[in-house]
Every structure is written in C-alpha cells, then in structure tokens.
Amino acid sequence: MNPYTNEVLKTFADATDVDIQQALETADGLYHEMKSKPISTRATILHGIAKYMRYNKYDLAKVMTLEMGKLISESEGEVELCADIADYFADHGAEMMEPTLLHTRANGEAKVYKQSTGVVLAVEPWNFPYYQIMRVFAPNFMAGNPMILRDAANIPWSAQTFADMIIQAGAPQGSIANLFMSYDQVADIIADPRIQGIALTGSERGGASVAKEAGQNLKKSTMELGGQDAFIVLDDANMDDVNNIAWRARLYNAGQVCTSSKRFIVMDSVYDEFLENLIKNFASVQPGDPMDNATTLAPMNTKKAKEKLQKQVDEAVAAGATVAYGNKPIDLPGQFFMPTILIDIAADNPAMHTEMFGPVAQVYRVHSEQDAIDLANNSQYGLGGIVFSGDPLHGEKVATQINTGMVYVNTFMTSLPELPFGGVKNSGYGREMSELGLMAFVNEQLVVTADRPDMNNVTGGLVKLDPTND
Ligand code: NAP
C-alpha cells in the first residue's frame, strides 16, 4: 500500500508449507554445493549484483518509495549503499574467511578455519527495505550461507524485488528465497535443522519473540533492535555544525531510523540557541509527494505507525511535556506526521523510556557533563549516539562513557560496510557489517595438527580482530 496515496499497489499470496519446504531444500542444496566452490566465484557474483543495482538504481529505488513512502533521493542513496556493501564483501570476504594461525602451547600448529554453517533466516523490518537485507545477505553469501528472507508485512513488493534482483543479477537459485510466512511458520522454520542462524532486525517485541524460538532450538541469533539514541551537545560544541546536523539526524527517513537521534541532551549555556535552531529547521521541511525531488518530508510508512506515534506524543503531553513545535495535523491524504519537538520531559514521563519511531524530537536541558552522560545512559536501549564537543579528544572520552554499541563524535552517524553495526542492552546483541558481521554465522573451527612436516617453518601468527584493518 502506498502511504502517500493510500492505494493498494499489489497483492501477494502467503507462503504455503510446500513453498517453505521447497525453499529450504533448494537453499540447503546450495549450501552443500557452495562448500566445494572457490569463494572467488561468489565474489564475482556479488560484484555483478552491485553493478546491476547501480545500473537499475532508479527503478529499484522507485519500488521502495512507492511502497513505504521514503523520499526518492533517500531510496536512491539506499540502493547505492547496498551496492557498496556488496562490493565491500566481494573485495574482502575471501580474506576474512582465510584461516588464522594462533600462538599456542599446544603440541602442534593451531589454526582457526572459517566454515559456512547452513541456511540463515533473515527477519527484517520495513524502514530500509533493501539495506537491511543486504547487510545480512552479502557477508553470508560470501561465507557460503544461503538466505531465507521473511520481511515486514508492509513491504512485500520491495522484498520480492530484492530477492528477484539477486537471482537476475547472476546468483544461483537458492541464494535467497523470499517467503511471505506467518509468525507460526517462522517459528516452525527456526526449528528446522537446515536453518543454522537467525538474524532479526526490528523491535524489542519482535526480537524477544524470535530470539525465544531461536533459543529453544539452540540456534545462534543476532538481534538488531530499537534505540533511543542521545545527541549530546557540550558547552564548547561548534554550534554551526550542531545546528546543521541535529535536525537531519532526527528527520532523515521521516524519523524512522533505529539510530535516529531521539533525545537531544543539551548543556544549559547553549540550550536556547539549540532549540531555536531546531525549531527553525523543523519548520523548513516541505511535505509532499516522495517521488518529487522538491519534497523534504516523507509520509510515515503506514497509518498504524502514524497513529502509534500520535498516541505516544499525546501520552507524553498528558504527563507534562511541552510541545515546543509541531503536533498539528498536516492537510494531506498521506500518512504525514508534522515534525514535533517535546521539552520539559520529567523523569516520570513515559516518553523518557519510549522509542518514538517518527519525526519527534525530545530535547533535555542539563547543567553538567556528568548529568548529560547519566541521562544518555538512563535508557533500556544501547544502540548508538552522537557527542558534540569543541575538543574532539574530550568528545571521544565522553563517547566511551555512553553505554551503547556505536558513538560518533562531532559528526553525523553513518552506516558503512567496514564499520560494525549493533547495540547492547535491549538494543540487541551481535553485530552486522564488517568482519564481525561476516563471522556471525561462521563456524570458527579449531584444528590443531601435530607432526606437520612443515612445522619448523611455523612461527605463529596473529588473530585478526580489527575489522577495519584491511
Ligand atoms: P517489528 O514489529 O519487530 O518487525 C520486524 C520484523 O519482525 C518484521 O518482519 C515483522 O513482521 C517480524 N516479526 C515481528 N514479530 C514477529 C514474530 N513473533 N515472529 C516472526 N516475525 C516477527 O519491528 P518494526 O516496528 O516493524 O520495526 C521498527 C523497529 O526496528 C524499531 O524499533 C527500530 O529501532 C528497529 N530497527 C533496528 C535496527 C538496528 O539495526 N538495530 C535497524 C532498523 C530498525 P511483520 O511486519 O509481519 O509484523
């Protein structure tokens, strides 16, 4: 359904149990076949996928914009990022899969071999329809783990387009299979012995349900869940940079980003300037057709998501928060939510611990750096964060005191294939992207060999842990 026009664009049939069994059989067959093929063949295919995506950028982007409403320029950027991820793992996957030599007192040479483990189930959300899939697909394809995809119910067209595109671009049948499965079918497929890994990106609720099924079946899982990221502005921050970045860090993708800056924590001395600029920038966006390049505020992805956000804002206001800007209807038929700024959020306000997944900013005034750090850490989530400081080294020191998986200092948060992505606490566990992401569903098999004929030449090697050190 197009959230700008509210039209039904396409319909899709649910997966039958026969469809699921066939997909599992094909994927499992490919898993065994790939074991005997050189990894370089998969690198060539993955480069081909990147090329195909760049060549068909606009057509691929259009599907996402029509189906979940994001701005066409942002959809095109997402297609490019997917191509970069594919190229990155095509370039570096083989090296990451090389065995590593360990220093050991054991009798013999100790090596850790990297081996594929089987089919990975990816349960993905709607907010970045292609990127979320590519983050799991590219590293696992290089590792030799085929993917079964179960995507969000509101983006079936994007999910099918992505899966078709992978095969059309030259990947063997079984590399990816998109299945429109019910929650019960997801639980059943997790129990199937051919599934050896489960990667979920989504909410705490969805993550907890799927992680429970994975745990019951002793299957390894990674969970990329929600966040309430803080954006800390210290006394000496460069306010031109802060004012330029803050509003975009909240409104990008209509605010529907796990690592959006959802809580701005601002020192007293710069608070008034900060709020004034945030209001000015929030007021400057132009709602409209997301296919039109002049539009700068996209609709939200569904009516349900918009209604949920409105309820959260109403509850925050009822509990004493002040609306500094926004919270009025937008007179368009699409699922638009006016960018909104909430202030005066007291410690007992439910907003303090609510992930608002849309264009709503919470702004907090603090009187010391320690208060800023404590407030940032006062969350059940631990995904990302941003710190602005006049002294980058000091900003880095503050960053290390924020209990999250990723913090950026004096810059916008960006996701790149070489950087590990993931969180702690209720934001989940495990990492996607980088070497850490590629290893998620790889068997790191230890082999210790005594009496090797070439043992005299063995000096021992190093375990590579730094994914950026390529
Ligand atoms: P969600 O409701 O948890 O849905 C995510 C996916 O899980 C969807 O495909 C959903 O299917 C499926 N799902 C949910 N419950 C399930 C169950 N019991 N069994 C099987 N599948 C199940 O999440 P959302 O609200 O759509 O997505 C937004 C959330 O994702 C936010 O919290 C956001 O912060 C988080 N997110 C995190 C990251 C990250 O990398 N950490 C990235 C992007 C988004 P249906 O659509 O059919 O319900």
What residues form DSSP beta bridges with 364?
265
* DSSP string for residues in 272-284: HHHHHHHHHHHHT
Could you tell me if 449 and 109 are in contact, meaning their C-beta atoms sit under 8 angstroms apart? yes
Concatenated DSSP letters for 21-69?
A: HHHHHHHHHHHHHHHTS-HHHHHHHHHHHHHHHHHTHHHHHHHHHHHH-
Measured in Å, residue 437 CA sits from the centre of ligand 1 at 19
Res 456: pLDDT: 55
Phi, psi of 95 (to 5 degrees): -65, -40
Sign of CA dihedral 258, 259, 260, 262: positive
| pLDDT tens, position by position, 378-434 | 999 999 999 999 999 999 999 999 999 999 999 999 999 999 999 999 999 999 999
Measured by CA distance, the residue closest to atom 39 of ligand 1 is 224
Ligand 1 centroid, distance to 273 Cα (angstroms)? 36
213 lines ligand 1 (CB under 6 A): no
What is the Å distance from ligand 1's center to 274 Cα?
Answer: 33
Residue whose CA lies nearest to ligand 1 atom number 16:
206
| φ/ψ bin of 6: left (φ > 0), alpha (ψ from -120 to 50), beta (otherwise) | left
Q: Strand 360-366 relative to strand 340-343: parallel, antiparallel, unpaired?
A: parallel
Residue-by-residue DSSP string for 169-209: TTPPTTSEEE----HHHHHHHHHSTTEEEEEEES-HHHHHH
Of 126, 201, 426, 429, which is best to mutate to test ligand 1, by the most ligand atoms within 8 angstroms of its C-beta? 201
- Asked if residue 112 lies in contact with residue 100, where contact means CB atoms within 8 angstroms, the answer is yes
Residue nearest to atom 43 of ligand 1 (CA): 258
Which residues in the chain come in under a pLDDT of 50?
458-470
pLDDT at site 455: 66
CA of 369 to the centre of ligand 1 (A): 34
301 lines ligand 1 (CB under 6 A): no
Q: Would you say the pTM of this structure is higher than 0.75?
A: yes
Active site members: 224, 258
Ligand 1 site, residue 304, Cβ cutoff 6 A = no
Q: Which of 225, 218, 15 is nearest to 117 (CA)?
A: 218
How many CB atoms within 10 Å of residue 421?
Answer: 23
pLDDT at residue 349 in the model: 98
Q: For the chain, list the domains and their CATH numbers.
A: 17-225+427-447 (3.40.605.10), 229-409 (3.40.309.10)
